[in-house]
Amino acid sequence: MTSTTTVTAQRRQRPLFRTRFWAHWSAPAIMLIPAVVILVALSLFPMFYSLWLSFNEWNLGDRTATWRFVGLKNFITIFTTDPFFWPSVRVSVTFTGVTVAVQTLLGLGIALLFSEEFRGRGLLRTLIVLPLMISPVVAGLIWRFMYNTDLGMVNYLLYLLGIDKVDWLGRQVSAMPAVMLADIWQWTPFVALILMAAIQALPDEPFEAALIDGANRWQTFRYLTLPMIRPALMVAILIRTMDSFKIFDLIYVLTLGGPGVSTQVLGLYTYKWGFKFFQMGYASALSYLMIFMMVVFANIIVFFMRRRVD
């Protein structure tokens, strides 16, 4: 007898519970689900699709060609016989390492210079930020103009010093540094801007105490400023490394990876396999390796930054 009543009670309660659950969660669900559905469709599906594609061979240029399962062949070819894969990795890693290092140091210097009050600081700070807001395509165009052999500003400055014209983007030795300089021009303001904000948000008291204790500029910077802006520095370096490693547009406009393969970063190399040679399987395999490397880099940076703080 008693057991039946409990069962009925439970039965009665259940719909009530459901309504409450629904009353609480319907609003957030309705607000969240459309975005999640779109993102799954636009990202998760393509990622699995291209993962599967990377184990296949498919020439999109040949209309009659169909998918052919080849297992790990694409990956094996990339690692063993592909003559351009490792050079591209080297170019990408060098490019990322040099640009991020220079941008970080230069950005930090600029942020420190601008941390003191002076007339016109606000306006000058806005001006410095401009390069990072313009399209990388426009930045590429600007620097193609700057590097132009016959009428570029760089050669004009050298001409004023009595030095002969140089074809900056057309020579193996100078193309890479030239591309790096353009990237440094565009993204140093990014690091500077983040660090300026971090420095501005610092409390005054520790600095006043340091001044009273007779700490010099270097000591104040090394033992006060630097540790306190470390989180911001980490965010800046992390974002810059990710973006620098996947660079495409700036180099596409400046050199298209040339001369030879001297500026051919991984993104550009993958693009060529996909949309010049139409080998979709091979390009998918390359793109997966690129994602894998980015994940590894991100973890290395986070690991080192964390260890230093502890």
Partner 1 sequence: MGLGWQRIAWLAAKRLLIAIIIVFFVAPIILIFLTSIKSRVDALAFPPVWIFSPTFMNFEEIFELYDFGLYFRNTLVAATASTIVAMALGVPAAYSLARYKFRGHSNLAFWILSIRITPPIAAMIPVFILFRNLRLLDSIPGLVLIYCTFNLPFVVWMMRGFFEDLPIDLEESAMVDGCSRFGAFARVALILAAPGLASTAILTFLFTWNEFIFALILTGTNARTMPVAVQLFMRETGILWGHMTAAAVIMMLPTVVLTFFIQRYLVRGLTFGAIK
Of 127-156, which residues contact partner 1 (CB under 8 A)?
A: 127-138, 140-146, 148, 150-151, 153, 156
Binding mask 17-46 for partner 1 (x = CB under 8 A): --------x-xxxxxx-xxx-xx--xx-xx
Query: Measured from the CB of residue 12, what is the shortest distance to partner 1 in angstroms?
Result: 27
What the block records as the tokens of 33 is 């689900």
Residue 73 or 121: which CB sits closer to partner 1? 121
For the chain, what percentages of helix, strand and coil (3-state, to nearest 5) are there?
Answer: 75, 0, 20
Q: Which of 50, 88, 104, 244 binds partner 1 (CB under 8 A)?
A: 50
Residues 145-204 that bind partner 1 (CB under 8 A): 145-146, 148, 150-151, 153, 156, 159, 185, 188-190, 193-194, 197-198
* 256 and 146 Cβ atoms separated by less than 8 Å: no
Binding mask 87-126 for partner 1 (x = CB under 8 A): -----------------------x--xx---x-----x-x
Cα gap 295→205, rounded to integer Å = 39
Residues 235-264 that bind partner 1 (CB under 8 A): 235-236, 239, 242, 245-246, 248-249, 252-253
Site membership for partner 1, residue 227 (CB under 8 A) = no
- Max distance between CA atoms of the chain, in angstroms, equals 108
Residues 54-93 that bind partner 1 (CB under 8 A): 60
Q: Give one DSSP letter per residue of 98-156, joined into a string.
A: HHHHHHHHHHHHHHHHTTS--TTHHHHHHHHHHHHHS-HHHHHHHHHHHH-TTT-HHHH
- Residues 272-295 as b/e (b if ≥16 CB within 10 A, e otherwise) read bbbeeeebbbbbbbbbbbbeeeee
